[in-house]
Each structure stands twice: as structure tokens, then as C-alpha cells.
Chain A
Amino acid sequence: MQPFTTLTGVAAPLLRDNIDTDVIIRVERLTGTSRESMGAVAFEAWRFRPDGSENPEFALNEARYRGAPILLAGANFGCGSSREGAVWAMMGMGLRCVIAESFGDIFFNNCFQNGLLPVRLPGETVRHLAEAEGAVTVDLIAQEVVGADGTRAAFEIEPMRRTALLEGLDEIGLTLKHQDAITRFQQADRSERPWVWLASEAPP
């Protein structure tokens, strides 16, 4: 995972509630596009017109927001499908941080698996950040967002997630350190709930 410490850059506004992961990346892009090239098709239903040309009315197509590393979004961002491709596509566009009032639970988890920082701030603060032109700073060390007009907003993040992002930790590596506990749990569970433990089946 890519570590995240601080970030300063343009924040593009997409202040609509309930933006789902189907809109962030279409399902056929999950199979027909490599992880690295998903950025080119992120938000395609809105970003492009049916003839394939760019939709000038879509905020992320505006010159000032192109390549922005921060996205300001409405509530319940990333709801819907569990596809991690939504995170890959956003990172492929150059995004490293999304600020929204709330996030879909699965998307929120997927962000942390890849080093895309989801920041929860009140809707009013998010809208305020979108009003000022200029660079926004997201500081994970200080747990603070500084708007273009100097407004400061502190955000909450769970200590474990913060540490994992700051250090770019690998979760599987961390879990495998608990191998003894996993083995003990499984041994006890085999006698407590034997019906859960199926035998292996030779492949047909």
C-alpha cells in the first residue's frame, strides 16, 4: 500500500449524495481494463457523452480540476458494489484523498487497503471547502484539513488506520503475526462447532 502523510493540491467538487461505485467504474471495466488504466474510464457515464467526447459540464473535466489529487463529495460516497476497482480507478485519475460527509462501508474499507485517504467532515464543511479557489492541504499527521481560504477542520480517524496509512503497512503481514492465535481458535472451534468444519473434497 502507498503510504499517506500530507497532501496539498486542488480539490475538485462532486457534491452529490449517494455516488455509487457503479458510476465510479462500470462493471465491464473490471474485466476488460488493467488496474493501471482504470483512471481513464473513471466516472465515464458522467465524464463522457454517448459519442465518446468529453462532457464539458462535468466538474472533473474543467481545466482547473484536471489531475486534482483531492475530491470533495456528497454524503454516502462510494455506496453500492464492493468493487475495489472504484478505488483503483480514482487513484488512476491521480486522486489520493476523498472528503465527504459519509462513505459506503465497503468502499471506505477498500480505500484504506490502497492508500486512498477517505476523510469524514460535516457536509457544511465540505461545501465550504468547495467554495474557495486554490489548494487544500490534508495533513494525516495532524489530522487536519486546511482549506484554500485558511479554514482549518480537524478530522477523526481510527489510530490503527492512521498508523497503517502513515507507514503503508501490509495487513496480511500484520495478521500472519497472529498465526498462533488463529491456529488455537480453529482447534477449539473444531470441538465446539464441529459442524462448521467440512472435510476437503477431492476435485472431480
Chain B
Amino acid sequence: MSEPWTLFDKVWDSHVVADLGDGWSLLHIDRHLLHDLSGGRALGDVLARGLAVPNPELAFATPDHAVSSAPGREHNGFPVGERLRASLREQAGATGIRFFDLGQIGQGIVHVMGPELGIALPGVTLICGDSHTCTNGGLGALAFGVGSSELTHALATQTLRQRRPKRMRVRFEGTPGQGITAKDLALYMIGRLGAAAGTGYAVEYAGAAVRAMGIEGRMTLCNLSIEMGAKIGMVAPDEATFAYVAGRRYAPAGEMFDRAIAQWRTLRTDDGAVFDREEVIDAAEVVPVVTWGTSPEQAIAIDAAIPAPEAAGDAARAKAWRDALDYMGLEPGRALAGTKVDWVFIGSCSNSRLSDLREAASVARGRHVAEGVTAWVVPGSERVKRDAEAEGLDRVFREAGFGWREPGCSMCVAANGERVAPGQRSVSTSNRNFVGRQGPGARTHLASPAMAAAAAVTGAITDVRRL
């Protein structure tokens, strides 16, 4: 009999092409997502080095980072984004890689597009030149972000040289309260464990609250893994996963689907498997979480006071907190709730899927964006956009005074010229509140879609449960 083994190890082991020694493996890569910011350049590098792309059928490309989210963008886009989109389209065409252009199903944020087209599947290895590739782990894929060099390596060899990370499991037990989302659980976890807690680990999320979570919520949870330092986050696939995957464009169908499911059912952590680190979080104690600083670990409950640097523990940390408070224009000891906001951004690979938009729309319905606030909804993909429009969510948002935009990364990363102005305050459903992330001098508070919508309609950071 074999030893009890983890989900992560099972997927890893089944992809080892060669053992390179010292814990290193040459790992087969089953799926590769390419985007405009790095995809065109990497493909150009491969060709310039005289190398070929041996498995173009396993790679999928779409522009997301630098494309405008403005309606009518096909005719009047962001110039840099247009250049990158053209380059990606051209290089994908030259190498035989599928490319989803603006207006086509498949265009959108890579990590929204991958699962919705059945490109990301349980048990596959999937990479992308983007740190939020861990999002795809919500389906049970072993998915991680890489830099340009590894991206080129994978295109040219369909493999990567990787060292096996340590294993960590976070179990969310209990039942989350009404209105508490995967985003709140994730921010709570990072606030409690820290932005480096997962460094060097592959994280598996488990427990009753994860089992009960929808697949899109699991993607949100896995998405935030990298903000805890882990480049890999995974949830074991189950019946809900199989139901999600069924019928998607590149997913197996018919008899092949049954065969795949038989294998996917083995992708779970065996009882008694050992993790290098294990954490348990009581989901019932989580309330809506909002960040106050410039690291995702600087996150507090909506009803908590902004912390004082004196409580940071040591001098260096106190200095970092003070700098964060200065940058954010906040005073310690005061409540975060009631802080006036200028911008609300609902979108990003954290929270731009249909369930996220429904959640935000349920708050926006019958209300109106407060005076002085600009609020945008940027659907994660063309598919999400069309589905949302089919059920009238665009109308709900428009009537409430939100901007209804075209799919892409938009203001999460501000690579497309769409920025929060210096000194302005934004509540954002994205994943990074770093200095300058949403534009130089922009002040970002991370929150769930419902909390973001609540901030939009009240003009201030607000506990959505009190609306």
C-alpha cells in the first residue's frame, strides 16, 4: 500500500518528466495561458532564439492587461494596449496558438477565461506569466505564475524545472455568516497569517466552508494565495467541480468525460497525509474584511479600529505601518467605516465572475451611486459580460449609476491607462493594495463585491450588513 498522499503531491508526481535531483523535477506543463503584457514578447523571444513551440494546441492567448475597458474600444482603444494586442495576435497566429480577440467569447482576464472555457481542468498543470494563475487551483489544477524566462522555457519545451514546494493546508471549518464571501475569508486569512505565511508552500484549502463554497468562490480563495506568499493554491475537485466543468468548450465530453471524472475522483488528500504546516480558521467568526494599508496583510474587520503603529510589535514594523497610514491618509484608532471614498472598482481576477456581479448587483439594485463617487463594473470576460447582460445585471448597475465596461484587468493593475488619481481613495474588489497599484498615489482598500457596492452607494466604507 502507498503512503497517504496529498492532493498537491498526486498532481505533481503525475507530471514529473525527469527527476533532476535535490527535490527538483522537470515538470510537464499541460496548459499555458498567454496575455498581452508578456505573451507577445515571450513568443517573439522563442522564435528569435531559433526555437519552436512544440505544443501550440496546449496554449491559449487573449489580451486582458492593457486593453481599454471603455465601451467602443474596438475603434478607439488604449494605444499601448492596441500595440500589445496586435503583437500577441500576430505571434499567436505565427505559432498556431488559439487567440481570443476583443468581442469574442474567450476574451477576458486569463484566469476567468481559463476555467470558463474548460481549459483549466482538475489535475492539470497550468502556468501563465501572471502571479494570479493560482486562481485556476479552484478547480483542482496545479496552477502557478511564472516570469518571462520561465514562460519562454515552457513555450519552447512544454516543461519547467521546478523544486517541489512544502505543503500547507488551511481548513475553513464552520459556516460563514450571512453575506460573508470567499473574499472575506481570504482577506481574513491573510490578515491573520501574514503576507509571507505561504512563501515556499503549495496551499490546499479544505474544510466544511470550502466544500460548501461555489466553484467561483473557490477561485477567489485560490486567487488570493499569492497575497499570502504562496504561488500555488488548490481545492480538491468534487461533484460541484465536475458539474462546473461539464459542457465547457475544451473540457472532455461524453465517454471521455466519464473517464476523466474517474481519474479526478482520486485527486483528494488521503486521510493521514502530512502537511508541513496546517492552519484552521473558524469561518463563523469572520465578518466583512477591508484592508487599511498597502499590504494585503493589513486587513481588519469592518467593525475594528484602524490599528496604531505602537501596536505593531517592533520598530521596523511600526515604521511600515506609519508609512502605510500616511500613504493611505488614515488616522489610527478611528473606525474604517465611514471613511469617504472617490472610486469603486468591481472587477479583476479576484471578483469579476458572474456570482460576484450578482452579489454586487443585489446591493446596487434600487439604490444609486453616491455623489462624488465614480463606480465601475468591469466583467471578467466576454462570457461573463454576456451572461450578466442576459439576466439584466448591466441594467441594474447602469440604473444605479455604475459604469458598465468591457472585459479586462482594467483598474486592478492600471496597465491600460485607467487609474485612480493621486490621493484619491478607492474601494476595489481586486487583490493588491500596493503603493501605486491603481495609479501613482492611489489609495486602495480591498473588499468583497458586496462591500464595494455598499461603498459606492453610500459614498463611504460601509458594513454591507447594515444596509
Q: A82-B147, A160-B20 are in contact. Are A50 and B93 (CB under 8 A)?
A: no
Cα–Cα distance between A104 and B146 once the two chains are bound (Å): 12
Give the number of chain B interface residues (Cβ < 8 Å). 81
Of A105, A181, A198, the residue contacting B199 (CB under 8 A) is: A105
A-B CB contacts (within 8 Å), total count: 182
A40 within 8 A of B: no
- B17 to A79, Cβ gap below 8 A? no
- B441 to A50, Cβ gap below 8 A? yes
- B157 to A84, Cβ gap below 8 A? no
A172: chain B residues within 8 A (beta carbon):
49, 51, 152-153, 156-157
Q: Determine how close the nearest CB of chain B comes to the CB of A138; give it in whole angstroms.
A: 22
A114: chain B residues within 8 A (beta carbon):
149
Cα–Cα distance between A32 and B93 once the two chains are bound (Å): 24
Of A82, A102, A174, A195, the residue contacting B131 (CB under 8 A) is: A82
Q: Mark A160-204, 1 if CB is under 8 A from B, else 0.
A: 100000000001101110100110011001000111111111010
B319 within 8 A of A: yes
- A23 to B252, Cβ gap below 8 A? no
Of A20, A27, A83, A193, the residue contacting B414 (CB under 8 A) is: A27
- B145 to A198, Cβ gap below 8 A? no
Cα–Cα distance between A166 and B131 once the two chains are bound (Å): 28
Q: Mark B303-339, 1 if CB is under 8 A from A, else 0.
A: 0000000000000110110010000000000000000
A5 within 8 A of B: no
A102: chain B residues within 8 A (beta carbon):
196, 199
B57: chain A residues within 8 A (beta carbon):
197-201
- A23 to B130, Cβ gap below 8 A? no
B58: chain A residues within 8 A (beta carbon):
198
Q: Mark B103-139, 1 if CB is under 8 A from A, else 0.
A: 0000000000000000001011000011100000000
A81: chain B residues within 8 A (beta carbon):
130-131, 413, 432
- A76 to B199, Cβ gap below 8 A? yes
Select the residue from A76, A107, A110 with max chain B CB neighbours within 10 A.
A76
A50: chain B residues within 8 A (beta carbon):
422, 440-441
A11-19, A63-71, A91-99, A145-153 - the one binding chain B: A11-19
Q: Determine how close the nearest CB of chain A comes to the CB of B264; give it in whole angstroms.
A: 10
What class of interface size applies to chain A in its complex with B? Answer: 35 or more
A22 within 8 A of B: yes
- B316 to A171, Cβ gap below 8 A? no
B152: chain A residues within 8 A (beta carbon):
172
- A104 to B229, Cβ gap below 8 A? yes
- B150 to A113, Cβ gap below 8 A? yes
Cα–Cα distance between A178 and B99 once the two chains are bound (Å): 29
Of A18, A106, A159, the residue contacting B22 (CB under 8 A) is: A159
Per the 8 Å Cβ criterion, residues 76-131 of A in contact with B are: 76, 79-84, 87, 102-107, 109-110, 113-114
Q: Determine how close the nearest CB of chain B comes to the CB of A152; give it in whole angstroms.
A: 24
Select the residue from A46, A182, A201 with max chain B CB neighbours within 10 A.
A182
A45 within 8 A of B: yes
Of B131, B157, B227, the residue contacting A106 (CB under 8 A) is: B131
Select the residue from A105, A113, A159, A203 with max chain B CB neighbours within 10 A.
A105
Cα–Cα distance between A193 and B151 once the two chains are bound (Å): 24
Q: Determine how close the nearest CB of chain A comes to the CB of B458; give it in whole angstroms.
A: 29
Cα–Cα distance between A200 and B95 once the two chains are bound (Å): 11
- A109 to B229, Cβ gap below 8 A? no
- A31 to B415, Cβ gap below 8 A? yes
A75 within 8 A of B: yes
A154 within 8 A of B: no
- B320 to A80, Cβ gap below 8 A? no
Q: Which residue of A lies closest to B145 (CB)?
A: A82
Q: Which residue of A lies closest to B200 (CB)?
A: A105
Cα–Cα distance between A109 and B24 once the two chains are bound (Å): 13
- B17 to A185, Cβ gap below 8 A? yes
Q: Determine how close the nearest CB of chain B comes to the CB of A119; give it in whole angstroms.
A: 16
Q: Determine how close the nearest CB of chain A comes to the CB of B153; give it in whole angstroms.
A: 5
- B256 to A76, Cβ gap below 8 A? no
B370 within 8 A of A: no
A203: chain B residues within 8 A (beta carbon):
93, 96, 99
Instruction: Known pairs A28-B414, A182-B158, A196-B124; list 8 more (Cβ under 8 Å).
Output: A20-B295, A20-B434, A30-B37, A50-B441, A81-B432, A102-B199, A105-B199, A158-B24
Residue pairs across A and B with Cβ atoms less than 8 A apart, 26 shown, are A15-B316, A17-B316, A22-B436, A23-B435, A27-B414, A28-B415, A31-B37, A31-B66, A31-B84, A79-B196, A79-B229, A83-B147, A104-B199, A104-B229, A106-B146, A107-B147, A172-B157, A176-B156, A176-B157, A178-B17, A178-B18, A185-B17, A189-B28, A194-B259, A200-B56, A203-B96
Residues of A whose CB lies within 8 Å of any CB of B are: 15-18, 20, 22-23, 26-28, 30-32, 45-46, 50, 74-76, 79-84, 87, 102-107, 109-110, 113-114, 158-160, 171-172, 174-176, 178, 181-182, 185-186, 189, 193-201, 203
Top 7 A-B residue pairs of the complex, sorted by shortest distance between their CB atoms: A195-B252, A113-B149, A84-B147, A110-B147, A76-B196, A82-B145, A84-B148
